[in-house]
Chains A and B, each alone.
Chain A
Amino acid sequence: MKKSSIVILSIIALFVCSSCMKWEYGLEEDFSAAGEGLFITNEGNFQYGNATLSYYDPEKKTVENEIFYRANAMKLGDVAQSMVIHDNVGWIVVNNSHVIFAIDLETFKEKGRITNLTSPRYMHFLSDEKAYVTQIWDNRIFIVNPQRYEIIGHIECPGMTMENGSTEQMVQCGKYVYVNCWSYQNRILKIDTETDCVVDELTVGVQPTSLVLDKNNKIWTITDGGYKNSPYGYEAPALYCIDTETFTVEREFLFQKGSKVSELQLNKEKDMLYWLNDDVWAMSVEDTHLPIRPFLDSRGTIYYGLTVNPQNGDVYIADAIDYQQQGKIYRYTKDGVLIDEFYVGIIPGAFCWK
């Protein structure tokens, strides 16, 4: 028994040789980000909860990554879709986490959150107490009270069910908010903000992806045209100029079928349009033809995000690379000169200027 006991004890000791593992739970870090800045929402990989927020100081040319995690010691969530600033508070829409976080713009600390949204995409402020939140997989636009972090109502969107529901970006002209309906949709909705009802709709091409309002109060939208064999339809993408007075298409510019157009943006003066189509393209809102040469050539990968600095017109392009590593941001002057580049998080998709 003595021998066997020694053997058995030795084996047990081997089994218990290692067990405890070390977790590094982040401590809250103090930030003080004064002045101009650019927030970059990095979507992360769908279903992996690794969305992050980056902050870039254009003057110092410095970037801080994972600032939400570092400031709050918790994750941002799954698929950071967009960010908007209202009254010195940043609102980050995290699509597959069903949440919108409010953060302080200098410390990046959380100030509150709106939860239990269906699948939020974008947020548009009407006042301190009222904002709209668009959704995918829901035929409702939620009305929220940002001060109380509450959902207070919703707008029923006609012509869509929950399953093919899709409302996206919003622009406001007077008392009307215009919304593009993207996934398996082809419409721009017009919402009366006093009654919170859809009062009109305009049919455009297949799947309008983004929406801006220029200096002439004209709405611009760009469609992606769907995809090959889509039962909804597949056509050449197009750029539309819509008159807000008459709510009709004023001008239409067709791209080649199969073009991967997205990310329509405006400069500070709201007189120059930018978009992605493999390369970066730009044209004046007064132009009558699409440009024949890109503003910036592609660097070999498909660009994923685009923004223009409202202060000086610098153009920032997001490169998701292989969608599994830190994406890279390229910063160009408005004349197309590369002046900085930096890595951020996985799949940088949207920007927000402070």
Chain B
Amino acid sequence: MCILLVAMNVQAQDNEAMDKEMTISEVTVYGRRPMKEIGTQLTKLDSVALKENIALSMADVLAYNSSIFVKNYGRATLSTVAFRGTSASHTQVTWNGMKINNPMMGMTDFSMIPSYFIDDASLLHGTSSVNEVGGGLGGAVKLSTKPAKNEGFGLQYIQGIGSFSTFDEFLRLTYGNKHWQVSTRVVFSSSPNDFEYRNRDKKINVYDEDMNIIEQYYPIERNQSGAFKDFHFLQEVYYNTGKGDCIGLNAWYINSNRELPMLTVDYGDDTEFDNRQQEQTFRGVVSWEHLQEKWKLKAQGIYLHTGMAYDYNRDVGNGNMASMISSRSYINTFSGQMESEYFLNDKWLFTATLSAHQHFVLSKDKSIISLNGEDAIVGYDMGRFEMSGSLSAKWQPIKRLGLSVVVREELIGNRWSPVIPAFFIDGVLLEQGNITAKASISRNFRAPTLNDLYALPGGNPDLKDERGWTYDAGLSFAVGREGRYSLRGSVSWFESFIKDWILWLPTTQGFFSPRNMKDVHAYGIELQGNLLLDLPKDWKVDLNGSFSWTPSINVGEPVSVADQSVGKQLPYVPEFSSSVIGRLSWHDWTFMYKWCYYSERYTMSSNDTSFSGRLPQYFMSNISLEKLLSFKFMDLSLKGVINNLFDEEYLSVLSRPMPGINFEIFIGITPKW
């Protein structure tokens, strides 16, 4: 509490002061939505959230700034996100227009996306994702970078030092003039990540001389085998002719070397096992954009490469590490995209998109000796062509009403998807309070991934596409008084049905295989709110909150008469989740409090409430305090962060240790040339 009282004396400023300063004048109350956003359920993350600190990944940002579910397998470990009671592979993710879901597994690891590499982030809930991409049965996360809009040279360097010998470094060099904008960003993060935690899943035995147990206790253990070194490099070059043409280059290189933390129930000696995942990814986008008064044309060429190596070794004596598993996978994707917009007049907007992707995947899962004594590889080598196109018409017949129709069609391999239609409507019900109603409905589908179809062993070429339809409806309002306060809020109801949900399950032959297992009915309510207050004596308050109620129910046929899962919540999907972020600012000081909540999650499809059948609800609280110092030759920012303020013992996934209270400090330097 003392910390909170001290924090009352702080006020906002930030590394990127221009972006982050909270002023009510920024809050314009819109009576009309942009035509491209007619009827959409959209959550935009502002730069304050994205650039909060360099140690954050997009998984961390989304956990506290939205109501979508972030499934976190540990610190600096796989983190996936899911909308509205769906799974991680139902969330489509784009970066600068490029779809970056792993074509082998379908999901995206958000722990591999540093938030400092993202300048714009939007969440497109449910139906709204059809505007951007197909396959987002839950929704889509749209990430992008943008020109820094600097004049001359710029430099920003931030050093972060945290608990568990964690070091984060960020460097950004920029150059800009009337035509050129060049930016180079580098992030390097490393840590032994050996945080301490009380392991309640195991006990240490104390034996007497006859090997009788005379004492047992829960050990305080360190997170074993959790070290990581992540390097990210992002180069951007933009050239604007000033005559309506803009050419851009974005190149993002990732080199990650992460140990895979041992489970809380692992009794192996971590010095004798090496369990490691290494990744090298390159994502490159060349884009050309042509703007005219009434129309816009954009073309992109994309190349994506990911090389993943998974190694599991053990010491067989005298430090000789022998390979137990050595798995490799290589993905090369070549893509081209076209997008055009045509404004017929201020009432009509037409858009058309077409994208084509060619994936080449080589998976080498295991080395074996074949029956005839030769070396052989268990894996697959496949390619797949994918194409997606959409047409849309947006119409605002009167100022207060907007209608939008989108039709999307996809080709996956040699299979055409059913036509994916989506319809959106919004209208201002009441100008006073800007009370706006919106609704949308769409059909959607998701094709099996390459692993679903071809993985050896287990791939199932007979899998059916996941199909579904979803609708949502909501109300929003925005009130305010310039220079005093603004208050916005929205509430939406959604409902979706997904058929032939794909799940990987064990088989009697000792491997996993995907099957179309369930039909799922997901529905619920999403609430969002934002309050900005300009108080006397330069105090400012910014409060954001979200809340979700997301029942996600298995409504399929029972697998057998013994099946108890029908009518139950899907495992690991919280029924309730919520997040709140509050900022207080005063002159050059900013104090922030972040809070998130996930309700109890079942770990079994039958929703059994036995000891291992559920994960307790948890609340997480983080605080930070930042001070900006301005000198003649540079700006200096100092920031202190306390994560897991109340030192909660919590789990996001069974048997995955999570850190208790931990601390970080950041020093940012921005020279003035």
Contacts and interface: CB of A to CB of B under 8 A. Distances in A.
Interface of A: 1, 3-5, 7-9, 11-12, 14-16, 18-26, 43-44, 46-50, 52, 65-66, 69-70, 72-78, 94, 96-99, 110-113, 115-119, 137-138, 140, 147-149, 159-164, 182-184, 186, 206, 209, 224, 227, 229-233, 260, 262-263, 276, 299-304, 319-326, 328, 341, 343, 345-347
Most chain-A Cβ atoms within 10 A of its Cβ — which of B506, B584, B617? B506
Contacts of A48: 603, 653-655
Contacts of A69: 611-612
B28 to A, nearest CB: 23
**Which residue of B272, B508, B563 has the most chain A CB atoms within 10 A of its CB atom?**
B508
A325 B605 contact: yes
Contacts of B564: 321, 325-326, 343
Interface in B290-327: 312, 314, 316, 322-326
A299 B560 contact: yes
A303 B507 CA distance: 10
B368 interface: yes
Contacts of A140: 316
Contacts of A341: 562
A75 B202 contact: yes
A113 to B, nearest CB: 7
Given A78-B266, A162-B314, A22 B324 contact: no
Contacts of A14: 580, 582
A11 B541 contact: yes
The 5 closest A-B pairs by CB, nearest first: A49-B655, A325-B606, A99-B267, A98-B268, A4-B535
B368 A232 contact: yes
Interface in B366-403: 366-371, 376-378
A112 B216 CA distance: 11
Contact of A230 (B367, B457, B510, B645): B457
Nearest to A99: B267
A119 B650 contact: no
B617 A21 contact: yes
B509 interface: yes
Contacts, number: 273
**Secondary structure call for the B interface:** loop
Contacts of B608: 325-326
Nearest to A319: B562
A308 to B, nearest CB: 18
Given A19-B645, A78-B263, A162-B324, 20 more contacts: A3-B536, A12-B8, A21-B617, A49-B654, A49-B655, A52-B612, A98-B267, A111-B212, A118-B324, A162-B322, A163-B368, A227-B457, A230-B378, A230-B456, A260-B508, A260-B509, A321-B565, A324-B565, A325-B564, A343-B564
A111 B211 CA distance: 9
A97 B266 contact: yes
A299 B561 contact: yes
A52 B312 CA distance: 26
Nearest to B564: A325
Interface in B586-604: 593, 595, 597, 603-604
Given A322-B517, A325-B565, A97 B265 contact: yes
